[in-house]
Amino acid sequence: MSTAPKSLLTEAVMFFSERGVCKEVLYTEFEALLDGLVATPEFADETIEAVFLQINNRLQVRAAVFFTMDFDMDGYVNRLWNMPLRQLAEKAGRGPDMGGGPIRLACLGFTTSPEYRENMWKPGQRNGRADLALIKEAVNRNALGIIGDDEEAYTPIPAERLRVAAEDAWYDDSRGISESETEPRGESASQPVIAAAQTIEDQAQRERDEHLNKIALYTRQILTLQERLKQAENRRLADLDQLRQDHTDHLNLIRGEMIDIKNELASQQKINASLRRELAKAQNRTSID
């Protein structure tokens, strides 16, 4: 049995618009979207068609999972979205040849996991071009910066090598790509592969560190905002207590003034009654005289 190392695969996600591929991200960046660490404002309040890809060091697609994603009004991924893309790619059936042999394909109408069918779509034609051809061209442009194991990795494969079989020729095969389809590698090719693996691992470590630093920064910002919110709430409660106290003092003052007015009115009424009695007596004396 051969012990030659398997070709390294880079995982990426490409998003589609009506015109074709509109956004490309590595899987680590895609995970940041899923974690809600970043938003995609251009996808706000839309359902976007996307494809999860596994690409080898020769810039050849080895697996593709076509799925849809819902974004909210702020451009964040719907928190209910959950699809095991890697697992779907591993269990996918054998699809068309995109220049490096038949790929593993999972899409609407061609999947071994029907429970995810409602969140999948089927590649077809877009703006007069085949979706698979658009994906192949995007991979060859290598905007993702995939590191190849030799110079051939950076040589775009001519478009005429894209041999897309008819859909009725696609068939399910849970075994994936057979050993006979993998390209043999001798001992002389192992060193570049190891070096590429180390480079990719270093890049992944840097991305993980950056991810952790962002989480720490966001955590500090959240704690600061929570403290400010608590202080503002305490100030609001103190102002409310002061307003209540001022209102109570004002009511007590008004009640005291009303009592004084009532007492003064009662006293004045007594004086008036006394004056009326004196006036009545005076009038009686005058009539007698």
Residue 204 lies in a domain: no
Residue 261 lies in a domain: no
Nearest to 19 by CA among 121, 125, 126, 124: 126
At residue 8 the predicted structure's pLDDT band, cuts being 50, 70 and 90, is confident
- Over residues 40-89, the pLDDT tens digits come to 999 999 999 999 999 999 999 999 999 999 999 999 999 999 999 999 99
With residues binned 3-state (H G I as helix, E B as strand, rest as coil), the percentages for the chain, rounded to 5, are 50, 20, 30
Q: Which domain holds residue 101?
A: 9-185
> Given this model, what pLDDT does residue 48 score?
96
Is 105 within 8 Å of 95 (Cβ atoms)?
yes
Residue 164 lies in a domain: yes
Query: How many domains, the chain?
Result: 1
Q: How far apart are CA 272 and CA 86, in angstroms?
A: 101
Q: Which two tokens stand for residue 255?
A: 């009640």
Nearest to 215 by CA among 2, 35, 1: 35
Residue 4 lies in a domain: no
Helix (H, G, I), strand (E, B) or coil at 269: helix
Give yes or no for residue 268 having a pLDDT over 70. Answer: yes
Residue 239 lies in a domain: no
The Cα angle at residue 162 between residues 156 and 110, in degrees rounded to 5 = 125
Highest-confidence segment of 146-150, 166-170, 229-233 = 229-233
**b/e for 269-289, b at 16 or more Cβ within 10 A?**
eeeeeeeeeeeeeeeeeeeee
Percent of the chain residues topping a pLDDT of 70: 79
Residue holding tokens 């964040």?
76
Give yes or no for residue 168 having a pLDDT over 50. Answer: yes
pTM over 0.75: no
Residue 195 lies in a domain: no
Q: How far apart are CA 121 and CA 108, in angstroms?
A: 5
Q: How far apart are CA 124 and CA 60, in angstroms?
A: 20
pLDDT (average), residues 200-214: 79
Residue 47 lies in a domain: yes
Residue 209 lies in a domain: no
